[in-house]
Amino acid sequence: MRRTPARRPTMKDIARRAGVSESAVSFALNDRPGVSAATRDRVRRVAEQLGWQPSTAARALSGEGSATVGLVLARPASTLGVESFFLQLVSGVQEALSPRRLGLLFQVVPDLDAECATYRRWWAEHRVDGLLVVDPRAADPRPELLTALGLPAVVIGTLPAPLADRPAISNIWADDTGAMASIVDHLHELGHRRIVHIAGLPDLAHTRDRVDSLRAEAARRGLADVCSVPTDYSDAQGAAATRRMLAQDRPPTALVYDNDVMAVAGLAVAAELGLAVPADVSIVAWDDSVLCRSTHPSLTALVRDTATYGRHAAEQLIALLDGGPAVCVQDELPRLAPRASTAPPPA
């Protein structure tokens, strides 16, 4: 038996049930003058009883917004399937958006030019009311573009320059410099002097901050055998970089990875080469995850509540959409959790 699809309630249905005209329903539901307070209350009660919701398409056409925020990720799509950071971040974003009945429009693109083109298209099509922007860069065209388009946004991550002249762009960030310093402190106290950082994409601001912090901490301690190696965050490039570093005449005694996926890949490479972790080489992962806690040995990692980080970012965007001022907020500093993958270097 063929079932008839459920029909969404319309303003005509509300008008019929409330005993008023459709124009009165429109005035009441859109908070416009032209109806009495009693009529407005009656119309809203009927709308709630019928389960009526405003059409996002109609809101966009009327210039009242789309009830949607956007997130574009310019990363190799192949690196996203196993990395937990963005899944946790998005879960926190949704936690803040859901009570406000705001949707999240998510898209993966190959590069920054494609990301900017997506913003222009979404603006022209009235697809989003605001944006969450990730992976700030040293020379980043996005703040200027979003200001020109008039799209409120929250940039997640360290910005290379303040946004004092961007009244509709907020910033939330964690101290990558301080986090790297805590890793070097831990490894140096254990006795490590040859440290290699298997880094992420080199043009990202947070990668640069981590690299600069590693260099500064090494210089302060007089460590000459310290370096960073860029990758695309994938397990394949993380493994390849690990293999090259461990094949050197004077291999590192400690490896620091910019995500959990590369750290687990590095652990596998060490085993392949017959090296014991941590007896022969220590391993640290940047962001903790179930992967880090499930390996043998379990991986020393930086711990932070990534879902809460995402929720805070979404809350800042909601505040902008509600007419609040742009702000710059430092989130919680990631905390290093020493585990079985780090120990003093071999004698």
What is the DSSP secondary-structure string of 11-44? HHHHHHHHTS-HHHHHHHHTT-SSS-HHHHHHHH
What is the predicted pLDDT for the residue at 126?
85
Taking the domain 68-175+306-330, which CATH number applies? 3.40.50.2300
Q: Which two tokens stand for residue 27?
A: 């005035």
Neighbouring C-alpha atoms within 13 Å toward the C-beta of 28: 24
Do 68-175+306-330 and 176-302 fold alike per CATH?
A: yes
What is the predicted pLDDT for the residue at 79?
66
What is the predicted pLDDT for the residue at 33?
82
Q: Which CATH class name applies to 176-302? A: alpha beta
Average pLDDT for consecutive 10-residue bins of the chain (347 residues)? 57 90 85 86 90 60 71 80 81 94 93 95 90 92 91 90 74 95 98 98 94 97 96 94 97 97 97 98 95 96 95 94 89 95 95
What is the predicted pLDDT for the residue at 10?
83
Cα dihedral 26, 94, 148, 145 sign: negative
Of 346, 343, 335, 344, the closest CA to residue 181 belongs to 335
- Domain ranges for the chain: 11-53, 68-175+306-330, 176-302
pTM: 0.81
Q: Which two tokens stand for residue 313?
A: 């970012």
Which amino acid, 203?
Answer: D
Query: How many CB atoms neighbour CB 82 within 10 A?
Result: 16
What is the predicted pLDDT for the residue at 61?
45
* Contact present, 263 and 342 (Cβ < 8 Å): no
The CATH number of 11-53, from 3.40.50.12500, 1.10.260.40, 3.90.226.30, 3.40.50.720, is 1.10.260.40
User: Are β-strands 335-337 and 300-303 bridged in parallel, bridged antiparallel, or unpaired?
Assistant: antiparallel
Which amino acid, 315?
Answer: E
CB neighbour list of residue 53: distance below 8 Å, 6 or more residues apart: 8, 101
What is the predicted pLDDT for the residue at 57?
47
